[in-house]
Chains A and B, each alone.
Chain A
Amino acid sequence: MSADEKFDAIIIGAGPAGSACAYVLAREGKSVLLVERGVTAGSKNVTGGRLYTYALEMVEPGLYKRAPLQRKVVREQIMMLGAKSAVTVDYADFEFGEEVPQSYTVLRAPFDEWFAAEAEAKGAMVATGILVDELLEENGKIVGIRAGEDEMYADVVIAADGVNSLIGQKAGLRDDITPHLVGVGVKEIIELPDDVIAARFNLSGDEGAARLALGCTEGTSGGMFLYTNKGSVSLGIVFNPEQAAKRGKKIQEILQDLKMHPAIAPLIEGGTTAEYGAHLVPEVGLSGMPKKLYCDGLVMVGDAAGFGINTGMIIRGIDLAIVSGLAAANAVIEAADAAAVGPLYEKQLEKLSLMPSMRLFAGWHKILEMPRMFSEYPALANDAMKFMFTVDGKVPARMDKAMLQIVGRHVTFGQLLADGWRGYRAL
Chain B
Amino acid sequence: MTIKRQSAEELLGLNKFTVDEGHPHIVLDKSICARCDEKPCLVVCPAVLYTLKGGEINFDYAGCLECGTCRVMCKDKGITGWNYPRGTFGVSFRYG
Contacts and interface: CB of A to CB of B under 8 A. Distances in A.
Contact of B93 (A46, A186, A269): A46
Nearest to B45: A251
A186 B38 CA distance: 22
A271 B14 contact: no
B95 A184 contact: no
Please classify the interface of chain B as helix (H, G, I), strand (E, B), loop, or mixed, using the class held by over half of its residues. Answer: loop
B95 A275 contact: yes
A252 B84 contact: no
Given A178-B72, A182-B72, A268-B3, A130 B87 contact: yes
B95 A232 contact: yes
Interface residues of B, number: 42
B38 to A, nearest CB: 7
A356 to B, nearest CB: 29
A275 B15 contact: yes
B87 A131 contact: yes
Contact of A109 (B8, B86, B94): B94
Interface stretch (B26-34, B54-62, B63-71): B63-71
A14 to B, nearest CB: 12
Nearest to B40: A245
A38 interface: yes
Nearest to B70: A241
Given A44-B90, A109-B93, A250-B43, A131 B84 contact: yes
Contacts of A398: none
A121 to B, nearest CB: 21
Nearest to A261: B3
A44 B87 CA distance: 11
A189 interface: yes
B22 interface: no
A276 B14 contact: yes
B85 A131 contact: yes
Contacts of B2: 269-271
A186 B46 contact: yes
B73 A129 contact: no
A252 B83 CA distance: 23
A38 B92 contact: yes
A418 interface: no
A43 interface: yes
Contact of A278 (B38, B46, B85): B46
A274 interface: yes
Interface in A254-301: 256-257, 259-260, 265, 268-271, 273-280
B3 A274 contact: no
A111 B44 CA distance: 28
Contact of B95 (A107, A130, A147, A279): A107
A249 B48 CA distance: 11
30 contacts: A37-B87, A39-B88, A42-B96, A43-B93, A44-B66, A44-B93, A46-B65, A107-B96, A110-B96, A128-B88, A131-B83, A131-B84, A131-B85, A164-B71, A164-B72, A176-B72, A177-B71, A184-B69, A189-B95, A251-B69, A259-B5, A271-B2, A276-B11, A276-B15, A276-B46, A278-B47, A278-B67, A279-B65, A280-B67, A280-B72
Interface of B: 1-6, 8, 11-12, 14-15, 18, 38, 40, 42-48, 65-69, 71-73, 83-88, 90-96
Given A46-B65, A188-B11, A280-B67, 16 more contacts: A39-B92, A42-B96, A43-B93, A112-B96, A131-B84, A186-B46, A241-B44, A245-B44, A250-B8, A251-B69, A252-B48, A260-B5, A268-B3, A276-B46, A277-B65, A280-B72
